[in-house]
Structure 1
Amino acid sequence: MSLIGPSRHQGSQKAGARRAENNRIYAHPLPLAFHAPDSASALSRLFSLFGVSSTRLDNPHCEGIFDPYTRSVWVVSEKDSTILWRRGFFGKGDLSRSEPSWLARQINARKAAGKYMTSEEIREKRRAERRQFKLDRAAAIARAAAEAEAAFAEGREAAPTGPTLPEAPPDDSDEDSDGEEEEPLENVEHLQLTLQEAWFLVWNLDCLTVLDSQTNQPMTLQQIWRAFQDVHSIPPPQSPTDPQALRFDNPFLIHYAAYHYYRALGWVVKGGIKFCVDFLLYKRGPVFHHAEFAVVVIPVYEDPADQESSPFNLPNSETFSWTWLSTVNRVNSQVQKTLILTYVTIPARSRISPELVSSPACLAHYSVRDVVLRRFIPARMRD
């Protein structure tokens, strides 16, 4: 009987159970969720007689606080944070890589060492073990080479050597401490939404209320629209008639046009600064698969005169070099991501009245085009 078969079978069972659990937890692609009623209920049967669906729409009505200094919206409610993350992977924990898991990591740290770990802790542990293994292997090779060289010089045969690893420290997690009760942990982490994510939730889904950080009062749609643009102006515009206040090349508008374009097509859009890009595109979300595409947003002025008078220094608005393009493409090719250049055309002020920027209706005048780049790797692309 083979000893490999059962372990592989058990591993596939665990992986299948984990996938099923993720499919259950992250079943809703957006915060707005549709719930089908019980078909056996009397109300459902009554609606079906008249051909009317009794499907219920669940709107979570989350709350966030606008923070102009970090150009983000903070969701401090743990319940709202969980909903926004699990239904569309919006935002990230300010003390975590992605999912707000700071509290879970702190709780696990108080438990028996190594028995309860989050996915982030497991990943960091494996990386540390791999780094240490490489260091030990390099040291062992250096010792073996030195021994072989010394033996050759002395005319004797070198004895085989191997790395000497330190012993693991004894596990004293079960020993009693001083008997004092530990203080309960307070969750100090919040979910941090980008301005693009927040506006998508406010304007398209109407499931997020944004509060003013000074008054703690709900902001109107017009106030949010203006505030998200004003944070990119230095100094902020003093009045709506300020030339900086009404511009089509505001960074918020350009990046939101690209964000909305991909979100509307069903992609999960996350920040891509780790890979020198603006966005990463996931088919379902970070829990299921790695991002397949990396997006660089490239603003294109319809009227070059607008670029000359612009107070904004937009990244990638000037002609980029082949060295830069090759560098970014190489970075993302090494992590199995396809690079996409997303060109966002900025409407000309001479063609459209600047007053239109005061309304979200101006977004209809932006156009988005994307170009896919792939780095040719002969060793991988033969088939």
Structure 2
Amino acid sequence: MSLITPNTQPRGGAGAAKGGARRHENNRIYAYPLPLLFVEPPRSRIGSVLGLLGLSLARVENPHCEGIFDPTTRSVWVSKPEHSLILWRRGFFGKGDLSRSEPSWLARQINIRKSDGKQLTSEEITARRRAERRQFKLDRAAAIAAVAEEAEEIFATEGRVITPALSGPDIPSAATWRPSQNIYAQPESPSVEEDEMPLEDEEPLVDVEHLQLTLQEAFFLLWNLDCLTVLNSQNMQPMTLKDIWIAFQTVELPPKFIKPVDTSQHLQWDNPFLINYVVYHHYRSLGWVVKSGIKFCVDYLLYKKGPVFHHAELALAILPVYEDTEDQRTSTLDLQNSSPFTWSWLSTINRVNSQVQKTLILVYVTIPAKSRLSLDTLRTPACLAHYSVREVVVRRFIPARMRD
């Protein structure tokens, strides 16, 4: 059992009111942690009696989303916009293939067409912040250069030596600097008469973006929540749980081991899909929002509520451990981090995540020995009960801060 559980209690103090309007809007939009909804019926006498007995008349609303399995990208594509919206807003599942995270390509295109668009997407907000940061650096460098030039002029005319100041009223600081409006300047818009005229060559916008689910996310949605139907990309027919279970493992195997006759004969206990799903299922069940951590050189990132609320606090590096060392020697798969890692590797990823204020966790997944389990056990999700997860928290030692 893991001791790492998210703390979802709100923080008090003056910081709690920061960005209040946006935070309340996010709380309203992302109010549900999972796609399934539990709807309470209107209060009645029967409901009051059942409530005293510890029972409930609440019904479960299942969205029943659809996705298409794509073996090439090792993912499941959710093409219907309404299904993509549900899966993203209720648990932050998947990623827009044309966006950084939230599928917002259509909203960005609409904002581009509308000159007075006020609703900014996450990508547009990030672009503005980067433009402001770049302009601040330019203004600060120009101010420092002006102070240095003034000091040189005084030395040339009066002979006095003045050390150029790097701070002061003439040097902009991050706390007091404000961006000018011209950095947000848009291209010149046409005149009112031209703007009111309909554009004959302007085609209506069509949402071409799809939500891309990882294999772990897709299997969690269809096996644990039963709210996702996976279609075969060849015939667009729903796949059975057994077919999905075999297919998700098969795409992780080297091509030379895959035969069209019976792919289940090539299943292995150290399949990367199994190892990653064990970790994903473990932390999702504890209430964490689990997202990819490739940006920070790790396997997963853990969010308390989701990417729109806070940055990830924890970074997970998965380390497979064979229960029987002979299985590792005879395995046809070369698992990442299955061999002892070097201290330079550990120091590298620990430093990367420390700089972005994330705590590194080494997650050891024990792979059961083949000698005590049969191949038939591996053909069903029941085999997941034989895997175990251990956690080791790694913190970077800083002598100046940790003398006590």
Alignment TM-score, normalising by the size of structure 2: 0.83
Q: 2:120 aligns with which of 117, 124, 141?
A: 117
Q: For 1:107-159, what per-residue CA distance to the aligned partner results, in whole angstroms no more than 9, with x for missing partners? A: 11122267442233122211122123213423443454356446535656799
Are residue 305 (structure 1) and residue 309 (structure 2) matched?
A: no
Residue type of the alignment partner of 2:301: L
Contact 1:240/1:246 (8 A) holds in 2: no
CA distance in 1, matches of 2:278, 2:51: 41
Are residue 339 (structure 1) and residue 343 (structure 2) matched?
A: no
CA distance in 1, matches of 2:322, 2:53: 54
Are residue 295 (structure 1) and residue 316 (structure 2) matched?
A: yes
CA distance in 1, matches of 2:293, 2:384: 23
Q: 1:197 aligns with which of 203, 217, 227?
A: 217
Are residue 21 (structure 1) and residue 41 (structure 2) matched?
A: no
Contact 1:343/1:368 (8 A) holds in 2: yes
Moved more, 215-224 or 282-291: 282-291
Are residue 246 (structure 1) and residue 267 (structure 2) matched?
A: yes
CA distance in 1, matches of 2:363, 2:55: 43
For the residue of structure 2 that corresponds to 1:128, the secondary structure is helix
User: Aligned-pair distance for 1:263?
Assistant: 0.9
Q: 1:268 aligns with which of 289, 302, 321?
A: 289
Contact 2:246/2:264 (8 A) holds in 1: no
Are residue 180 (structure 1) and residue 198 (structure 2) matched?
A: yes
Q: 1:206 aligns with which of 219, 226, 231?
A: 226
CA distance in 2, matches of 1:19, 1:350: 53
CA distance in 2, matches of 1:83, 1:170: 33
Contact 2:321/2:365 (8 A) holds in 1: yes
Structure 1's 268 and 11: CA in aligned 2 closer, same or farther, altered over 3 A? closer
User: Aligned-pair distance for 1:17?
Assistant: 3.1
Q: 1:228 aligns with which of 237, 244, 248?
A: 248
Aligned pairs for 1:351-362 within 5 A: 351-362=372-383
Match of 1:38 in 2: 42
Structure 1's 152 and 316: CA in aligned 2 closer, same or farther, altered over 3 A? same
Residue type of the alignment partner of 1:299: P
CA distance in 1, matches of 2:260, 2:371: 22
Match of 1:60 in 2: 63
Q: 1:132 aligns with which of 130, 135, 151?
A: 135
CA distance in 2, matches of 1:58, 1:202: 15
Alignment TM-score, normalising by the size of structure 1: 0.87
Residue type of the alignment partner of 1:374: R
Structure 1's 49 and 364: CA in aligned 2 closer, same or farther, altered over 3 A? closer
User: Aligned-pair distance for 1:357?
Assistant: 1.3
Contact 1:233/1:244 (8 A) holds in 2: no
Structure 1's 15 and 136: CA in aligned 2 closer, same or farther, altered over 3 A? closer
Structure 1's 306 and 241: CA in aligned 2 closer, same or farther, altered over 3 A? farther
Q: For 1:186-243, what per-residue CA distance to the aligned partner results, in whole angstroms no more than 9, with x for missing partners? A: 1111111000000001111111000011111101111101110111112151057669
Match of 2:236 in 1: 216
Are residue 285 (structure 1) and residue 306 (structure 2) matched?
A: yes
Consecutive unaligned residues of structure 2, counting only runs of 5 or more, are: 1-13, 165-169, 173-178
For the residue of structure 1 that corresponds to 2:398, the secondary structure is coil
Residue type of the alignment partner of 2:206: E
For the residue of structure 2 that corresponds to 1:105, the secondary structure is helix
CA distance in 2, matches of 1:102, 1:57: 31
Match of 1:79 in 2: 82
Identity of aligned residues (%): 65
For the residue of structure 2 that corresponds to 1:69, the secondary structure is coil
Consecutive unaligned residues of structure 1, counting only runs of 5 or more, are: 1-9
Contact 1:93/1:99 (8 A) holds in 2: yes
CA distance in 2, matches of 1:284, 1:170: 35
RMSD over aligned CA atoms reads: 3.2
CA distance in 2, matches of 1:52, 1:265: 24
Contact 2:360/2:395 (8 A) holds in 1: yes
Contact 1:246/1:355 (8 A) holds in 2: no
Structure 1's 214 and 338: CA in aligned 2 closer, same or farther, altered over 3 A? same
Residue type of the alignment partner of 2:71: P
Residue type of the alignment partner of 1:110: R
